[in-house]
Amino acid sequence: MEESLAILENPLDDLEFLENFRILEELLKKEKYQDGIKQALFFAEKNSKRTTEFYSWALEFCQAVENNDQTLTLLEQALINGAWWSADFLRIAYGELFDGKKRFVRLLQLAEENTPYDKMKAKLVVRTPENYDSTKSYPLLLVLHGRGSNNENSNKIWKNNTISRDMIVSFLQSSQLLSSVHCCWDDLEKAFSDIKAAYKTLQSKYVINFENSIIGGVSAGAEVGLSALFEGLLPFSKMISTITSTGKFIENYINKKKTNESLKVYFIAGKKDVRYENTKIIHQYLKKTSLGSDLHSHPEIGHEIPKNFNEILEKAITYLNNE
């Protein structure tokens, strides 16, 4: 039986962090890599709750100048000072660079020892609509982040007038950690368990209009959300599937000719994404076997969120709610 999840409702933006982030982005754009390292380390020391994020920036700047010794030293410093990445994540990110180095093996062991098992819990952030009335029914938008992302990133993206005015928006952060601030949905059964717990929690606290409710997802989150609808885990069947990861879904559902006749999906994809052709396969399959499927193709982007995403969201919601 799924446990209820804690809800963080209508959180305020961390304006200081956003400004720090903007400063680091500007330094990266100007290729001021050494300045970027110093600035990121200053921010990491100043804000202990954001250690992993700022050390991640410092490491990105360091790799840009191709200083492997400095990168390894920074990585060691980060882990000692409270930043955390899983050993698997570090192997993928740095394994080839530091292959055979005993110092790197020790850092992997340190990462294993520092695994924050107590933080491996799904999290819910909820934005209630403008002029929210707790006695009224509202459609739900349940959003699943991409691999390596989190609720904070989702909150920046999924905004437009219709959503802010008319919907309860809930961001679900996976219980599976790649780092202290980066999450994934790699274990599908655990992902399903998180989704069921989220639904149970939201249903107990809010009056939800399921007829017009939607699940939204980005990349791996989109694939997991689509899979959850095929498994019937939620009492609604509408989805906004953005830059969808596709391999497992095709293998688990299309190749086995599984269907969900009530499903209605709006896909958003970049034509330069290596997953684009697979997205088209899923789209065409759903057009034949479900209630409906539409595909918004962006010709100039790959595996990334379109800059006019808020406008596309409006089209997606209109399509999904039209009979």
Residue 306 located in a structural domain: yes
Domain count, the chain: 2
* Per-residue model confidence as pLDDT tens digits over 126-167: 999 999 999 999 999 999 999 999 999 999 999 999 999 999
State whether 142 and 103 are in the same domain.
no
Residue 8 located in a structural domain: no
Residue whose C-alpha is closest to residue 236's, from 320, 322, 125, 128: 320
State whether 257 and 291 are in the same domain.
yes
* Per-residue model confidence as pLDDT tens digits over 15-39: 999 999 999 999 999 999 999 999 9
pLDDT of residue 68: 92
State whether 216 and 72 are in the same domain.
no
State whether 241 and 308 are in the same domain.
yes
* Per-residue model confidence as pLDDT tens digits over 191-206: 999 999 999 999 999 9
Residue 124 located in a structural domain: yes
**DSSP secondary structure, 57-115, as one string:** HHHHHHHHTT-HHHHHHHHHHHHHTT--B-HHHHHHHHTTTTTT-HHHHHHHHHHHHT-
pLDDT of residue 12: 79
pLDDT of residue 3: 62
State whether 147 and 234 are in the same domain.
yes
SS3 247: helix
State whether 207 and 305 are in the same domain.
yes
pLDDT band at residue 110 under the 50/70/90 scheme? very high
Mean pLDDT within 240-252? 93
* End-of-domain residue from the set 96, 115, 134: 115
SS3 238: strand
Higher pLDDT, 233 or 6: 233
Summary mean pLDDT of the chain: 94
Residue 9 located in a structural domain: no
SS3 309: helix
Please tell me the least confidently modeled range out of 28-37, 112-121, 275-284. 112-121
Q: Does residue 288 carry a pLDDT above 60?
A: yes
* End-of-domain residue from the set 81, 115, 149: 115
State whether 145 and 279 are in the same domain.
yes
pLDDT of residue 4: 75
Domain interval for residue 271: 119-321
Q: Does residue 1 carry a pLDDT above 70?
A: no
Q: Are 169 and 156 in contact, with CB atoms under 8 Å apart?
A: no
State whether 286 and 175 are in the same domain.
yes
Residue 3 located in a structural domain: no
pLDDT band at residue 2 under the 50/70/90 scheme? low
State whether 287 and 138 are in the same domain.
yes
CB atoms within 10 A of CB 54: 25
* H/E segment holding residue 8: strand 7-9
Number of helices (H) and strands (E) in the chain: give both, helices first. Answer: 13, 10
- Domain holding 211: CATH number? 3.40.50.1820
